[in-house]
Structures are given as C-alpha cells and as structure tokens.
Amino acid sequence: MIDKLAWIHIVDGKILVTRTKGRKKFYLPGGKRQKGESDAQTLFREIEEELSVQIELPSMQFVGIFEAQADGQKPGILVRMTCYSATYLGVLAPASEIEEMQWFTYEDREKVSEVDTLIFDILKENGDLV
C-alpha cells in the first residue's frame, strides 16, 4: 500500500491537477508521507514543493480516503489517497518535478490516475465538479 496525500482545490467547478515531468497522466497535487509526518505536515511540504504556495493549515478540511490500483505499479499494489481541501497563500506556479498544472472538469477524468477518477466521481456526485 502506497500512502499519499492530495490537495483538492476546486474553483468554479474545476479542479486543479498537475503533471509530473516525463508522465502522461495528470494527478491531484500532493505526494507521499515521509516517516513521522502528519497529514498536515505532508500536505504543506508537498504543495509548497510542487506549486510554490503554502497551505493554510487551519483551513484544512478532510474530504475522504480513496484506494485504487497504483498508477505505474504491478497489479495489486494499491495507493491510499487521503484528501483535504484548504486555502493557500501565494501564487500557484509549477515547481520541482511538476511540468504543468491544469484546471480539469469531470469530462477530463480519463486523463488522470485510477484513484483520481474515483475522487472525480465523488466530487461530481456532490456537485463540486462540473
């Protein structure tokens, strides 16, 4: 099981996604927990590294935990994605290994990883994603 955290950031019914250099699929911003990190510490570090902004920790709201086949891994290797929404400080800009960021609607769900399609489905059901 791969333990990851993701930031759910939706504006006007569109969700922020990123694409890592050398990859074709887009992913929700976030990443793997380092040993001993809390959810808040992991999300803060990953979002700052990937998008040059700082999550406002008091604004973090739990969205859900989702599990699916891990992208690019052998069958049976799952990813557990713990998702939060939050406000941020700064200007969004791709950094580190991130090649680009996009705003996706539900129609774009075929361009994301398996676990992210589950998240897109829930967000659409809840009326958050157009």
Three-state DSSP class for residue 94: coil
Domain boundaries, the chain: 2-125
Residues 25-46: b if buried by 16+ CB within 10 A, e if exposed: ebbbbbbebeeeeeeeebbbbb
Q: How much of the chain exceeds pLDDT 70, in percent?
A: 100
Three-state DSSP class for residue 129: coil
Going by their DSSP bridges, the two strands 78-85 and 2-7 should be labelled as parallel
DSSP state, residue 49: H
pLDDT tens per residue across span 3-37:
999 999 999 999 999 999 999 999 999 999 999 99
Q: Are 106 and 124 in contact (CB under 8 A)?
A: yes
What residues form DSSP beta bridges with 63?
none
Class of domain 2-125: alpha beta
